[in-house]
Amino acid sequence: MNKFLVSAGLMMLMGLTGAVDAFAAEYRPAVAAHRGASGFLPEHTLEAKAMAYAMEPDYIEQDVVMTKDNHLVVMHDYTLDANTDVAKKFPNRARANGRYYAVDFTLEEIKSLIVTERFNPKTGKPAFEGRFPVNTGIDFRVPTLREELELVKGLNKSTGKNIGVYVEVKQPAFYKEEGKDIVAATIKMLDEYGYNSMEAKSILQIFDYEAVMSARSKGWKGELCMLVEIWDAPYHDKARHEWLLTPEGIAEVSKQATIFAPWFSHMAVPTADGKGYTINNVAELARKHGMKVHSWTHRVDKPLKGFKDSDAVLDCAFKELKLDGLFSDFAGNVVEYLKKNGLR
């Protein structure tokens, strides 16, 4: 055989191998601790955030709602009755629909509530069997956004790490009806803590399309994430979110957003029998328009529809969809998976 051809072939092979290694080195998907270490402790408590920090994710999530006296507190719902004892402490403060809204309570009143593992307010049954017990009597409390930012900043200083914040503004349209601009208030506080730039380890995420498209005009300069999910819920425009998954919607939101984050099943679509899935072109379109692609929510104890287990979800996330970021209730599990696969 011609020695020159053999040599050239080896050089080409080495070049391809180097290119593959370079690609692997460049691909470093982010892990976001969903509501903190919510697979182990009551969500959005400072205790859950401290545990999540020790798992070394890239980001820790904060869901932000607003109190009657305009304080920003960290809770997933803009109602209080699915993970606190509000119905016991303030039995006569529910609205006509029977729900207790954070905006109807002062910070002092909300701070008096005991936080517990998430449960169904009608039945009292836990949302996730096998997790931390409901109603243990442990003195978990609702943190303010300021307390959360201080915690992350403090841990970054004491550990030398740089774990970021991934802040979701909840229900801007609801708060607008209440006479409050929760988006502007959140941006103001993030700016105060040095999180308002593309260089900062911070992401602002919102489900509300209009709020995403107006965030820049309210002063947001950092990473901006459009969350997408098709469901029926108050203050959630289902038709708008269906449009957001079309080429036209993706192109339009990319004019402001830097991250596109659909529910996982909108990209890895379960088959009719629920035993498998098919990959569509949503992630591809988002990248075509210059956005990174994140998704949610990975859970070890409840794999997404179409997947047999947690690892199958992660294989799809990082080997097929090539996600730039993934939310998980079990952030440590994802970090370990990435280490095993050479992505950490």
- Distance, in Å, from the CA atom of 265 to the CA atom of 297, rounded to the nearest integer, reads 10
289 an active-site residue? no
Q: Under 8 Å CB-to-CB from 269, ≥6 apart: which residues? A: 277, 278, 279, 280, 306
H helix count then E strand count, the chain: 13, 11
From the list 34, 44, 71, 241, the catalytic residue is 34
Out of 44, 71, 76, 266, the active site residue is 76
Q: Is the peptide bond before 297 cis (omega within 30 degrees of 0)?
A: yes
Asked if 236 is an active-site residue, the reply is no
Residue 53: CB atoms within 10 Å? 21
Query: Residues 224, 198: contact at Cβ < 8 Å?
Result: no
What one-character DSSP code corresponds to residue 318? I
Q: Beta-carbon neighbour count of residue 221 at 10 Å?
A: 17
CB 36 within 8 A of CB 63: no
Phi, psi of 302 (to 5 degrees): -155, 80
Among all residues, which ones are annotated catalytic?
34, 76
